Structure 1
Amino acid sequence: MDHTEEIVIVGAGLAGLAVAVGLHRKGLRSLVLESSDTLRAAGFALTVWTNAWRALDALGVGDSLRRHHLRLQAVVMSSASSASLVTKLPAKEHEVRCVRRNLLVEALAGELPHGTIRYSSKVVAMEDSGESKLLHLADGSTLKAKVVVGCDGINSAVSKWLGLKPPTFSGRHAARGFTVLPDGHGMKPEFMQYNGEGFRAGVLPCDEKSLYWFFTWTSNGEKETIPDHHDALMVKEFVLGKVKASEIPEQVVEIIDKSELSSVASAPLRYRSPLNLLSGNICKGNTCVTGDAFHPMTPDLGQGGCSALEDGVVLARCLADALCGGGNGEEEHRNRNRNRRVEAGLKDYEKARKWRAFRLVVGSYALGFVQESGNWFLRLVRERILAGFLVERLFVAASFDCGKL
C-alpha cells in the first residue's frame, strides 16, 4: 500500500520552503520532496524588495537575514554606450537588499521540523487516486498525497499535470555571478545597472566584501554565437567581451573578471504566456502550483523570487483557513467536508495571486524589451524621457503587501 501524506510540497526552492514554513507556523505538517540531494542555492543571490521582506517577516526569518546584508540606498541607471548617468532614484521608504540565496534557503529550511524535507525525491509524474493524488518518483517509488503543491520550477511536473503550457522562450539570455573580495569592494550601497544596445548589466553589493552581478542580452540569431550555458568559462568570456566593448566602468569589468567560475551561471530566459496565466489552471481540486511552476518571468522587475515568497505566505494562509480555520488542525482533518474546503481554499489562493502574477509577467517582459532595445529611437526615448519611469516601475512592483499568515 502506498504511504499517504496530508500535504506534499514538490520542490524545496524559495516557494516550496515558504509554503512549508507558513504551514508550520499555522500548525500544519507538510512533506517537502526535493529532487537534489541537498538544498539548492542556484543563482547565488537575488534582489529582495520591500514586498518580499514583508513576506519574510510574516514567515519569521526577516530579521536574521537583515543582519548579513546591506540595505541599498538607491537604484542607479546609466548608459552603457556613453557612460553617462541616466537617472538615480533613492530607495527612501523601500527596503532593498541583495541577499545570498544560500543564506535565504537555509534560513527558511532551519524553521522546519527535522524530516520535513526529503531529498533525492524527484517527482516525474502524477495521477488521480480516488480523492488523493499518486506521485511517481524517479526512483520508481510512489507516494499518495491528499494535497499537492507544485513548487518544482520552470519544468514543473505538477504544472504539466494541471495542463499549463510549457514556458515560452523570451529571445533573451542571462548570465549571473558572485564575486567575493576579501579586502572589501568599497562600492556604494546602490543597485547599479547599465543599459546598452541589446544588453543590460548590473552590480549589487550584498555586504562589504561580496557582490552579485548579472548580464542579460537579446539573441541576434545567426549574427551572434550564444555561449554554451553549461560552460562557465565560455559564459564569463562572452560577458567580459561585451562589457569591455562598452563604456561600462572598469571597476564593474574587474568585478566580473574576479568572479570564480564556480559562481558563474547562465540560462535562457523564459516566461509563462500571459494568456496561459489567465486561462490555464493554477489549481484543480486539491492541487496547485506556486513560484516558477506558476509564473516564470524574465528578471527585469526583480520579482521572480520575491513573488514566490508572496505565494508561499498567501497559500499557507488559505490552506490553513481551509483546514483548521485557526483552530485545531486534527479535528478539521477528520471533517467529512475536508476536500471541499481544500478546493475552496486553493480557489481563494488562485483569486489572490493570478492577476498579481499576470501584471508581473507582463511588466517584466515589457521592461526588459525597452531596456535592452538596440533601436536608436527607443534608446533615445529610454534615456531622455522614460528613465525615471522605468526605474520607478521597480518600486511600484515592490509596494505590494501579501499580508500576514
Structure 2
Amino acid sequence: MANMQQQEESGEQIVIVGAGLAGLAVALGLHRKGVRSVVLESSPALRASGFAFGTWPNAFRALDALGVGDKIRDLHLQAQVLRVTSSSTGVVARELDFSGKQGGGRPFEFRCVRRDVLLQVLEAELPGDTIRYSSKIVSIDDEHGGDGAKIIHLADGSALRAKALIGCDGINSVVSRWLGLAKPSHSGRSATRGLAHYPGGHALQPKFLQFFGHGFRFGYVPCNADDVYWFYTWFPSPDDNEGVDKSGATMKQYVLTKLRSSKVPAEALDLVQRSEISDDAPAAPLRFRSPLSLLFADISRGNVCVAGDALHPMTPDLGQGGCAALEDGVVLARCLGEAVLGTGGVTEKERVESGLRKYAGIRRWRSIELIGTAYTVGFLQQSDNAVVSFLREKVLAGVLVKRLLKMSSHDCGTLSS
C-alpha cells in the first residue's frame, strides 16, 4: 500500500492513454510547445496494425503544424488521380485530378501513408521517456481533495496521478466509458485490408482507384515504390459470408471470388493475391459512434477529455479517421498547452479545464459532421437498391466526391493561437 501511495503522489502533469495517431500527435504538439506529457501504451511496442490510411490536405496541414510533414512526403508517393468506377458496369462515374491547387494556392495533396511509418516518425520526435509500453489502463478514480487530479490504475497494479487525462485509446476506450460516451454501433458492414509488397517495385500508376456496386466497395493506391494498400468493405450475409472471416486464407479467397465476378482490372487481383491477411484479425466490423449522441455528450469533463477514435469512431468511407485524429492532436495540444503555460488570476486546475472545454467546443461539430457524412457516403456507395444504384452512377457520384473534398479541406490551424 505504501508503494502504491508513493506512485500516486509522484504523479504526472499530463497523461495520454494510447500511442496511436491521436496520442502521439497530442504528445508531440505539447512537446513542441514545451509541455511534458507521458503516453501509456498497452502494447509492448508501437502498434503496426491498420496497414495504411489516406492522408488528405487537412492531415498534411496537421503534420506540418507538428513539424513532420516533409518527412512523410519524402517517404510516400503523391497520388495524381482519384477514379471512382462502377464494379457492375465498368463505367467511370467520376474522375478527379489531384494535380491542381487547393485553397490558398497550395497543391492538392493526397498520399497513402503507411501507419507504422508515421508512428515511427512521430515517436522519433519525442523525448525518449515519453512513451511507457505495456501500460494498460483498467480504471480511473477521482483523487479525494487536493486539486482534482485523477488516479489511473494500471493492469500491473501500479497507479499514476494525473492533473490532466487525455483518452486516445481507440474505439474501445476506457476513458470514453468513464466520460459516459455512447457505445459505438455496428454499421452492418465489415472490412478487410491488405498491403501488397513488390520487392522489385510495382508498375502501378500513382492513382487512387475505387470500385463500388455488387454490395461492396474496393479500392487500392500505391504508398511508395514497393507497397500498395487495398481495402474491401461489404455487407455480410448468411448466404455468401459463412465462415469467410475464420482465417486469412478464407478471407482472401472470398475477396478474390467477388472481384473476379466484377469489372475490376487484373492488377487488382494480383495485389490481393500477393498480400498476407492475418489469421488473428482477417476482417473487422465497421463501427461508428452515433453523431447525434455527440451533440450534448461530455467530450471533456473537468480535467479529462478524449481524441481520435476514442471520440469519433467512423466508417472509413471518407478516409478521414486518421486525418481527424491528427487534427485533434494539433487542436488539443494548442488548447491544453496554452492553458498549462498560461498565467493569470485563476488556478492551474481552472486553466486546464478551460483549455479542454475549448478543445471540445472546437472539435464537437467537426466530429459530428465527419461521422454522419462517412456513414451516408458508405451506404450510398455500396447499396444494391436499383434506384440508389441508378442515381449513384448518374448523379450522386459527383456529389459524393465534392463532399469528400469539402471534408478534406478543413484547416485545424497551427500550434499557436
CA distance in 1, matches of 2:261, 2:390: 20
Distance in structure 2 (CA, Å) of the matches to 1:154 and 1:230: 22
Among 135, 138, 158, the residue aligned to 1:141: 158
State the match for 1:26 in structure 2.
33
Q: What does the per-residue CA deviation read over 1:171-214, in whole Å, with 9 as the maximum and x for residues that have no partner?
A: 01011000011232211111100002211000011112210000
Give the stretch that moved more between structures: 388-397 or 58-67. Answer: 388-397
**Partners of 1:186 and 1:224 in 2: CA distance:** 33
Counterparts of residues 53-64 of structure 1 (less than 5 Å): 53-64=60-71
Greater mean deviation of Cα atoms: 95-104 or 336-345: 336-345
Within 5 Å, give how 1:83-122 maps onto structure 2.
83-91=90-98, 92-93=100-101, 94-122=108-136
The CA distance in 1 between the partners of 2:167 and 2:69, in whole Å, is 24
- Match of residue 17 from structure 1: 24
Contact 2:184 2:290 in 1 (8 A): yes
Q: 2:253 aligns with which of 231, 237, 240?
A: 237
Residue number in structure 2 paired with 1:183: 200
Shift of 1:169: 0.5
Q: Aligned pairs, how many?
A: 397
Equivalent residue number for residue 104 of structure 2: none
Equivalent of 1:38 in 19, 22, 45: 45
| Alignment correspondent of 2:105 | none
Q: What is the deviation of 1:248? A: 1.3
SS of the residue aligned with 1:385?
helix
Shift in alpha-carbon separation, 1:300–1:282, aligned structure 2, 3 A: same
CA-based RMSD: 1.6
Distance 1:100 1:230, change over 3 A: farther
2:82–2:207 contact (8 Å) kept in structure 1: yes
Match of 1:386 in 2: 396
Alpha carbons 1:177, 1:259 under 8 Å: kept:
yes
Ranges in structure 2 where 5+ consecutive residues have no aligned partner = 102-107
| 2:277 counterpart residue number | 261
Q: Is the 8 A contact 2:247 2:278 kept in 1?
A: no
> What is the Cα deviation at residue 230 of structure 1?
6.3
In structure 2, C-alpha distance between the alignment counterparts of 1:397 and 1:242, rounded to whole Å: 30
2:14 equivalent in structure 1: 7
Q: Give the C-alpha shift of residue 260 in structure 1.
A: 2.2
Query: Structure 1 residues 284 and 226, CA, compared in 2 at 3 Å: closer, same or farther?
Result: farther
**TM value normalised by structure 2:** 0.92
| Superposition misfits of 4+ residues, deviation over 3 angstroms | 226-230, 261-265
Q: Deviations over 1:375-401 (max 9, x none)?
A: 111111101111122122221111000
- Distance in 1 (CA, whole Å) between partners of 2:345 and 2:231 is 50
Paired residue secondary structure (2:161): strand
**Deviation string for 1:240-267 (max 9, x for gaps)?**
1211121111110111111123598421
Aligned counterparts, 1:295-334, within 5 A: 295-325=312-342
| Matched-pair identity in % | 52
1:228–1:27 CA distance, 2 compared to 1 (3 A): farther
Q: Which runs of 5+ in 1 are unaligned?
A: 326-331
